Chains A and B, each alone.
Chain A
Amino acid sequence: MKYIDEYRDERLVHSLAAQIARRATRPWNLMEICGGQTHTIMRYGLDELLPAGIRLVHGPGCPVCVTPLETVDKAIEIASRPGLIFVSYGDMLRVPGSRLDLFRVKAAGGDVRIVYSPMEAVKLARAHPDRPVVFFGIGFETTAPANAMAVWEARRQGLENFSMLISHVLVPPAIRLLLGSPRNVVQGFIAPGHVCTVMGYRDYVALCRDFYVPMVVGGFEPADLLEAVRMLVAQLEDGRAEVENQYVRSVSYEGNLPAQRIMESVFEVCDRKWRGIGVIPRSGLRLRPEYAAHNAEQVFAVGEISAEEPAECISAEVLQGLKRPTDCPAFGRACTPENPMGAPMVSAEGACAAYYHYRRHSVAEAGVC
């Protein structure tokens, strides 16, 4: 398939790995931000192709994983109401809240539906004018434009029964937090290609300047990721710290301006809690006041629901790249995808689930599990 197969070419991938091995003279810790990139790395075993000193640290870029427990609880509370249609992307349904998950709400009679686009939720709201329709709007800058468009469209059509429970998060403030931490071990970043497709990479230039850390905007196929690693290693070995764009077939400096405009018109920046990390200032998006009628948190008065997230949970350290999933004594034993203890074991993009699904055998051989 065009635009896919050439980036999964075995010879190209091995040639990139060999170039990295030739260039690297010392160990480097690199972080891929996005869960989609973590997924590719684990699915293809790319880390096994790298020289021993080049360590890939998995970042907090799994939108399912960082959605706070209390937001999941709010979703469950809303979805449990009789007559209501609760609409979500598929992988949010299995995320455990404090007591339930959305699959169990569905099994208990809740009308919970999986869609592929928020516009389908708008269609449902039009088709069922007598029933409240709530869309669970989560994700990074990648899903934000489509969610913004859905709210904008619902208002344009006067669909008073449509609302959105929003927990949008933004990548650059999270990178800033990681880089500012005294425990930070990351020396170079693979910036998230899909987020940058929407937002451009202006913000990453500022991060690079403030912290003098190399950043390469990377794609999601095996050759993309190894090329991004090669570019980062070259910068680090040269003592440079610049923003480079590996994913040129999708990302421009300015990004997708119409998408940014619709986000800007519907959302505003706010402080946001990240599961496992805590509140990061100005790291989220919420609806602007003029869209209050479509804000599910207000419509259903669930703003007060809160849930205590334990500070000791290792998922916090996994999400910040301080620990590997296999460092957790519960990994693969008490904590599995069927019975996830923490969010990174739930989503296919979560670091723990990626290790569990794709790498259990090597972990077992190494005697960890």
Chain B
Amino acid sequence: MLTLTCPVPLAAGDRVLLGHGSGGKLSADLIRDVILPAFHNPVLARLDDQAIVNINGLRLAFTTDTFVVKPLFFPGGDIGSLAVHGTINDLAMGGAQPLFLSAAFIIEEGFAMEELRRVVESLQRAAADAGVQVVTGDTKVVEKGSGDGMFINTSGLGLVANGMVLSAGQARPGDRVLLSGPIGDHGIAILARREGLEFEGALESDSAPLHTLVAAMLATGAAIRCLRDPTRGGVSSTLNEFAVQAQVGIEIDERAIPVHEAVKGACELLGLDPLYVANEGKLVAIVAPADAGRVLAAMRQHPLGQEAQMIGTVTAAHPRLVTMRTLVGPTRIVDLLAGDQLPRIC
């Protein structure tokens, strides 16, 4: 009998850690242990990116998201445009037509008025470009040191067609997994800007509103089971969420996953895996096998889906687990990380 006297594991529950906001296992635990028990109801229990509620026959998609990005301005966008795109995308992943947004600003005392104007203008422009209106909002100012420059919360309302049901639980064995384009752009662009790292080739956030891409996909009439935008935690977290919620396995092929050269290079250098890096203008779709080709063709017709790829298959084998055929042949697990991905030492 072997006695295990390794260092005693640390209790995870005593304080909130940054890892609880990573989109990985710690985030899932936080939601399961603290949030869900308090608010338990069937709409929330679906754990999709948006709630879909029925009011007198009208199906409304409702969602909220808070943006704490640092730096506030980055190549390819800023906190204002991101706050619009993020919430529109959460609505779009439910098949909704986004209509109205709220915008709430939490601003740190001393914040430059000029920068605030830039953020507000950017938010307004992004909303106008996407055809949504900001119809309500709020501003709060906190003492210097109580906030990090600025945080923005946006909530969104959208309209869902009758009969439209997109939910992670619907994935079934045989379905195909589609990805709308190269991964990791947003996370690496932010990291590079924040840390002052310079890489050859342009690193730019992919921040974009995906509702017109979704509309083009839905217009094919294909059996699309579910959609999700792989933001924090990256594609791996999204696929793991699908696998758990639908009680299926997912197998992907590393060779099929597009990654821009600059992102690949930055990830190699920092010891990061692009599968865990955030995106803000990509989606993952699970589609019935017979319809996958048609949906992929429609995605590639759209400016935001030109580099779309079929990356894998839903399987009955190894339920709740995502696996990947590696570049050289063998298969490995694509795990949900505990917290944030940490750069390796060497």
Q: Is B328 within 8 A of A8, CB to CB? A: yes
Interface membership of chain A positions 342-356, coded 1 if the CB is closer than 8 angstroms to chain B and 0 otherwise: 100001110000001
Residues of A269-317 at the interface with B, using a CB-CB cut-off of 8 Å, are 310, 312-315
**Minimal Cβ-Cβ distance residue in B for A106:** B18
Least Cβ distance of A366 to chain B in Å? 13
Q: Is A361 within 8 A of B321, CB to CB? A: yes
| Chain A interface size range | 35 or more
| Chain B interface size range | 35 or more
Q: Is A359 within 8 A of B333, CB to CB? A: yes
**Minimal Cβ-Cβ distance residue in B for A13:** B328
Q: Is A4 within 8 A of B268, CB to CB? A: yes
Q: Is B346 within 8 A of A339, CB to CB? A: no
Least Cβ distance of A23 to chain B in Å? 19
Give the complex CA separation of A96 and B338 in angstroms: 14
* Interface: B144 (CB within 8 A): no
Q: Is B342 within 8 A of A91, CB to CB? A: yes
Interface-centre pick from A63, A342, A357 (highest chain B CB count, 10 A): A357
**Interface of chain B: mostly helix, strand, loop or mixed:** loop
Least Cβ distance of B17 to chain A in Å? 5
Give the complex CA separation of A4 and B17 in angstroms: 35
Q: Is A45 within 8 A of B326, CB to CB? A: yes
Residue in B261, B327, B330, B345 whose CB lies within 8 Å of A91: B345
Residue in A8, A106, A114, A357 whose CB lies within 8 Å of B327: A8
**Minimal Cβ-Cβ distance residue in B for A226:** B328
* Interface: A1 (CB within 8 A): yes
* Interface: B6 (CB within 8 A): yes
Give the complex CA separation of A310 and B261 in angstroms: 46
Q: Is A341 within 8 A of B10, CB to CB? A: no
Q: Is A334 within 8 A of B329, CB to CB? A: no
Residues of B295-346 at the interface with A, using a CB-CB cut-off of 8 Å, are 318, 321, 323, 326-333, 335, 337-339, 342-346
B271 partner residues in chain A, CB cutoff 8 A: 348
Give the complex CA separation of A360 and B264 in angstroms: 26
B321 partner residues in chain A, CB cutoff 8 A: 360-361
Least Cβ distance of B65 to chain A in Å? 23
Q: With contacts A139-B345, A143-B346 known, what are 4 further pairs, Cβ within 8 A?
A: A13-B329, A356-B335, A361-B323, A361-B333
Residues of B that sit less than 8 Å from A by CB:
2-10, 12, 14-19, 25-26, 195, 197, 261, 264-265, 268, 270-271, 318, 321, 323, 326-333, 335, 337-339, 342-346
Q: List 21 A-B contacts (CB under 8 A).
A: A1-B261, A4-B268, A8-B328, A10-B327, A46-B328, A63-B346, A64-B345, A98-B7, A103-B19, A103-B339, A107-B15, A140-B346, A142-B346, A194-B346, A328-B2, A328-B4, A337-B338, A341-B9, A358-B333, A359-B333, A360-B335
Residues of A that sit less than 8 Å from B by CB:
1, 4, 8, 10, 13-14, 36, 39, 42-46, 48-49, 63-64, 69, 89-94, 96-101, 103-104, 106-108, 114, 116, 138-140, 142-143, 194, 222, 310, 312-315, 328-330, 334-342, 347-349, 356-361, 364
